[in-house]
Amino acid sequence: MKSNYLLYFLFLGLLYACQNEPTASKKTEAFIIPNTPETICRLWQKVLDNNQIDKALLLGSPATKKWLIENKELIVHNGLNETTQFINMTCTEAADKAICKYTLREDGDLIEDYFSLIRLTDQWLIHIEENASNDPEELMFEKMKKSLEL
Protein backbone atom coordinates (compact mmCIF):
# COMPACT_ATOMS: atom_id res chain seq x y z
CA MET A 1 0.00 0.00 0.00
CA LYS A 2 2.87 2.36 0.86
CA SER A 3 4.46 1.63 -2.49
CA ASN A 4 1.25 2.81 -4.27
CA TYR A 5 1.46 6.18 -2.52
CA LEU A 6 5.15 6.38 -3.27
CA LEU A 7 4.52 5.66 -6.97
CA TYR A 8 1.67 8.19 -7.01
CA PHE A 9 3.88 11.00 -5.60
CA LEU A 10 6.73 9.98 -7.88
CA PHE A 11 4.36 10.17 -10.85
CA LEU A 12 3.11 13.63 -9.78
CA GLY A 13 6.70 14.78 -9.36
CA LEU A 14 7.55 13.64 -12.88
CA LEU A 15 4.52 15.42 -14.30
CA TYR A 16 5.48 18.63 -12.53
CA ALA A 17 9.07 18.37 -13.76
CA CYS A 18 7.95 17.82 -17.35
CA GLN A 19 5.82 20.96 -17.51
CA ASN A 20 6.92 23.61 -19.96
CA GLU A 21 8.87 26.37 -18.34
CA PRO A 22 6.85 29.55 -18.15
CA THR A 23 7.90 31.93 -20.85
CA ALA A 24 9.09 35.32 -19.80
CA SER A 25 6.43 37.87 -20.42
CA LYS A 26 7.30 40.04 -23.36
CA LYS A 27 6.85 43.73 -22.81
CA THR A 28 4.62 44.96 -25.57
CA GLU A 29 3.73 48.56 -26.11
CA ALA A 30 0.09 49.24 -26.81
CA PHE A 31 -0.37 50.98 -30.13
CA ILE A 32 -3.55 52.97 -29.97
CA ILE A 33 -4.54 54.69 -33.19
CA PRO A 34 -6.00 58.14 -32.55
CA ASN A 35 -8.75 59.49 -34.76
CA THR A 36 -8.23 63.18 -35.37
CA PRO A 37 -6.21 64.54 -38.28
CA GLU A 38 -3.68 66.30 -36.05
CA THR A 39 -3.04 63.34 -33.76
CA ILE A 40 -2.68 61.01 -36.76
CA CYS A 41 -0.13 63.40 -38.31
CA ARG A 42 1.90 63.65 -35.12
CA LEU A 43 1.86 59.88 -34.58
CA TRP A 44 2.75 59.27 -38.25
CA GLN A 45 5.80 61.50 -37.94
CA LYS A 46 6.80 59.89 -34.63
CA VAL A 47 6.74 56.35 -36.03
CA LEU A 48 8.65 57.43 -39.14
CA ASP A 49 11.22 59.22 -36.98
CA ASN A 50 11.75 55.86 -35.25
CA ASN A 51 11.76 53.83 -38.50
CA GLN A 52 8.67 51.90 -37.37
CA ILE A 53 7.35 51.20 -40.85
CA ASP A 54 5.05 48.44 -39.59
CA LYS A 55 3.23 50.96 -37.39
CA ALA A 56 3.21 53.60 -40.14
CA LEU A 57 1.39 51.10 -42.37
CA LEU A 58 -1.48 51.11 -39.85
CA LEU A 59 -1.82 54.89 -40.22
CA GLY A 60 -1.91 55.10 -44.01
CA SER A 61 -4.47 54.86 -46.77
CA PRO A 62 -4.05 52.09 -49.36
CA ALA A 63 -2.06 54.47 -51.60
CA THR A 64 0.15 55.41 -48.65
CA LYS A 65 0.74 51.77 -47.74
CA LYS A 66 1.85 51.11 -51.32
CA TRP A 67 4.18 54.12 -51.17
CA LEU A 68 5.63 52.98 -47.83
CA ILE A 69 6.30 49.47 -49.10
CA GLU A 70 7.94 50.79 -52.27
CA ASN A 71 10.10 53.25 -50.32
CA LYS A 72 10.77 51.24 -47.16
CA GLU A 73 14.47 50.71 -47.79
CA LEU A 74 15.01 54.38 -48.60
CA ILE A 75 13.11 55.50 -45.50
CA VAL A 76 14.92 53.12 -43.16
CA HIS A 77 18.32 53.76 -44.78
CA ASN A 78 17.96 57.55 -44.47
CA GLY A 79 16.26 57.43 -41.07
CA LEU A 80 18.10 59.28 -38.35
CA ASN A 81 15.98 58.29 -35.34
CA GLU A 82 15.24 61.91 -34.62
CA THR A 83 12.28 63.51 -32.97
CA THR A 84 10.54 66.02 -35.19
CA GLN A 85 9.65 69.17 -33.30
CA PHE A 86 6.56 70.80 -34.72
CA ILE A 87 6.25 74.52 -34.05
CA ASN A 88 2.61 74.62 -35.08
CA MET A 89 0.02 72.60 -36.94
CA THR A 90 -3.39 73.62 -38.25
CA CYS A 91 -5.80 71.11 -39.69
CA THR A 92 -8.77 71.81 -41.94
CA GLU A 93 -11.40 69.17 -42.62
CA ALA A 94 -13.88 69.02 -45.50
CA ALA A 95 -16.09 65.94 -45.61
CA ASP A 96 -13.74 62.92 -45.71
CA LYS A 97 -10.58 64.88 -46.56
CA ALA A 98 -8.26 66.95 -44.42
CA ILE A 99 -5.07 68.92 -44.78
CA CYS A 100 -2.80 69.63 -41.83
CA LYS A 101 -0.39 72.46 -42.51
CA TYR A 102 2.61 72.60 -40.21
CA THR A 103 5.81 74.42 -39.45
CA LEU A 104 8.85 72.73 -37.96
CA ARG A 105 12.42 73.72 -37.27
CA GLU A 106 15.20 71.61 -38.77
CA ASP A 107 18.87 72.56 -38.54
CA GLY A 108 17.90 76.14 -37.70
CA ASP A 109 15.60 76.49 -40.72
CA LEU A 110 11.82 76.77 -40.59
CA ILE A 111 10.12 74.28 -42.87
CA GLU A 112 6.49 74.60 -43.89
CA ASP A 113 4.63 71.70 -45.45
CA TYR A 114 1.39 69.76 -45.08
CA PHE A 115 -0.07 66.31 -44.61
CA SER A 116 -3.03 65.11 -46.67
CA LEU A 117 -5.50 62.81 -44.95
CA ILE A 118 -8.61 60.90 -45.91
CA ARG A 119 -11.22 59.27 -43.73
CA LEU A 120 -11.94 55.61 -44.51
CA THR A 121 -14.47 53.65 -42.45
CA ASP A 122 -14.54 56.43 -39.84
CA GLN A 123 -10.75 56.45 -39.39
CA TRP A 124 -8.47 59.31 -40.44
CA LEU A 125 -5.43 58.10 -42.40
CA ILE A 126 -2.38 59.75 -43.96
CA HIS A 127 -2.87 59.89 -47.71
CA ILE A 128 0.13 60.10 -50.04
CA GLU A 129 -0.74 60.18 -53.71
CA GLU A 130 1.76 59.20 -56.35
CA ASN A 131 2.72 62.01 -58.67
CA ALA A 132 2.95 61.30 -62.37
CA SER A 133 5.90 63.64 -62.73
CA ASN A 134 9.15 64.22 -60.86
CA ASP A 135 9.54 67.71 -62.34
CA PRO A 136 10.10 70.10 -59.37
CA GLU A 137 7.88 72.79 -60.90
CA GLU A 138 5.09 70.29 -61.48
CA LEU A 139 5.42 68.97 -57.93
CA MET A 140 5.23 72.51 -56.53
CA PHE A 141 2.14 73.19 -58.62
CA GLU A 142 0.51 70.00 -57.32
CA LYS A 143 1.28 70.99 -53.71
CA MET A 144 -0.22 74.44 -54.25
CA LYS A 145 -3.26 72.94 -55.89
CA LYS A 146 -3.80 70.50 -53.04
CA SER A 147 -3.45 73.19 -50.39
CA LEU A 148 -6.20 75.17 -52.10
CA GLU A 149 -8.61 72.23 -52.43
CA LEU A 150 -10.07 72.79 -48.99
CATH fold of 33-149 reads Nuclear Transport Factor 2; Chain: A, (3.10.450)
Distances (CA, A) of 84 to 4, 111, 150: 71, 11, 26
Residues 134-138 have a mean pLDDT of 55
Please indicate whether residue 49 or residue 13 has the higher confidence score (pLDDT).
49
Query: Is the model's pLDDT at 137 over the cut of 70?
Result: no
Q: pTM for the complete prediction?
A: 0.64
- DSSP single-letter state for residue 122: T
Residue pLDDT, tens place only, 82-112? 678 899 999 999 999 999 999 988 877 888 9
Give domain limits for the chain: 33-149
Contact assessment for residue 98 and residue 117, using Cβ atoms and an 8 Å cutoff: yes
Give the C-alpha separation, 107 to 3, whole Å. 81
pLDDT at 21: 45
